[in-house]
Amino acid sequence: MGSGQERTIGEDVDGAFATNLRHLCGFYPSVAHVCRTIGINRTQFNRYLAASGRPSRHMLTRICDFFGVSAAEIHLPPEEFERLQLNARQRKEPSPAPYVGVVEMLQRASRPEMHKYLGYYHEYYCSMSSPGKILRGLVHMFERDGQVYFRKIEHVCGPPGLPVTFKFRYIGAAFFLNDRIFLVDTESLTQNEITEMILFPTFKNKVGRLSGLLLGVSSGDYRRIACSRFVLDWLGTRVNLRNAVKACGVFDPDSGAIDPSVVAAIDNTSPGGPLFYARDF
């Protein structure tokens, strides 16, 4: 067998290499992320992790370059290798800030049903910058490295009397925690605000409308803090983006541009008790 080919477990595959490789993968979001970044087949890589195969010299070099270790180090006994890695990290990295891993912790706790909601939506809520009007934006939920994120586009009118429209783009993460959907985003350019949306999930086979509350600040000079009832209206996994974005904007509630059932769902004039509650469909 040529030196460039892989050997099988029957040819003295090094268990220490597999153990150390699994240890290194633990510092990344997923094995799939490691494979995509290195550019290696997942099935092939799983053989290395299971000690049922050993990489060629060329592939070993690529793996070691990615993890920042030498070929000699990655074959050390696991206990010695872990001590070496710990010492290297302590020399190179400052102590992490408190709670720096909270987002990752929440992503691990998020229920896999969140993937059911991937796709495009129009969002609706009472505009914080144009009181009395309804804002329609476009939301796209997508998956990356096993986690769900979203992008959002909003078109907001400028000051009264001026034909100006401001375009805002948001990026955020989605979590499904204990039968509620949580969306947290920030404006991608200015990064001067955080918006949170909490929604009821759907218990139907197909996603339709999701209802909840939105908490954020207006884009005007006063940056008022406000809470509004909020609706996501499912468009599908594939849409005509030009038309979907073109439909975004700010509308009068009685203009006929917004479905009356959506207008009723985001009406904030009736709190419904001592607290401000969302309306579920």
CATH number at residue 144: 2.40.128.120
> What range does the domain containing 132 cover?
108-265
What was the pLDDT predicted at 120?
97
Same structural domain, 135 and 64: no
Same structural domain, 91 and 129: no
- 180's enclosing H/E stretch is strand 180-187
* 273 assigned to some structural domain: no
* 280 assigned to some structural domain: no
What was the pLDDT predicted at 241?
92
In degrees, rounded to 5, the angle at the alpha carbon of residue 214 between the alpha carbons of residues 210 and 219 is 130
27: pLDDT confidence band, cut at 50, 70 and 90?
confident
280: pLDDT confidence band, cut at 50, 70 and 90?
confident
Same structural domain, 70 and 172: no
CA proximity to 230, closest of 173, 272, 276, 188: 276
* 103 assigned to some structural domain: no
Same structural domain, 87 and 128: no
- Last residue within a domain, chosen from 34, 64, 95: 95
Same structural domain, 142 and 261: yes
Question: Please, are residues 165 and 149 in contact by the beta-carbon 8 Å criterion?
Answer: no
Same structural domain, 237 and 140: yes
Same structural domain, 84 and 139: no
Question: Pick the residue with more confidence: 273 or 195?
Answer: 195
Which residues have a Cβ under 8 Å from the Cβ of 103 and sit 6 or more positions away? Answer: 173
* 52 assigned to some structural domain: yes
Question: Please, are residues 146 and 152 in contact by the beta-carbon 8 Å criterion?
Answer: no
Same structural domain, 79 and 128: no
Same structural domain, 197 and 229: yes
* 252 assigned to some structural domain: yes
Same structural domain, 144 and 70: no
- Last residue within a domain, chosen from 33, 63, 95: 95
The verdict on pTM exceeding 0.95 is: no
In DSSP notation, 153-165 reads EEEEE-STT---E
* 119 assigned to some structural domain: yes
* 277 assigned to some structural domain: no
- Determine the average pLDDT of the residues in 81-102: 72
What was the pLDDT predicted at 158?
54
Report how far apart, in Å, the C-alpha atoms of 41 and of each of 35, 38, 44, 74, 188 are: 7, 9, 5, 20, 34
Domain count, the chain: 2
CA proximity to 113, closest of 202, 3, 42, 9: 202
Same structural domain, 128 and 247: yes
Distance CA 44, CA 40 (A): 7
- Determine the average pLDDT of the residues in 33-55: 90
Distance CA 6, CA 270 (A): 69
Tell me the backbone φ, ψ of residue 15, rounded to 5 degrees. -65, -30
- Last residue within a domain, chosen from 48, 68, 95: 95
Q: What is the pLDDT of residues 71-91, one digit of tens each?
A: 888 999 998 888 887 777 666
Can you read off the two tokens belonging to residue 200? Answer: 């009821």
252: pLDDT confidence band, cut at 50, 70 and 90?
very high
* 2 assigned to some structural domain: no
CATH number at residue 36: 1.10.260.40
Same structural domain, 160 and 33: no
Maximal C-alpha separation, the chain: 79
- Chain centroid to CA 180: how far? 16
Tokens 């769902």 locate to 265
In degrees, rounded to 5, the angle at the alpha carbon of residue 33 between the alpha carbons of residues 90 and 65 is 55
Distance CA 246, CA 155 (A): 9
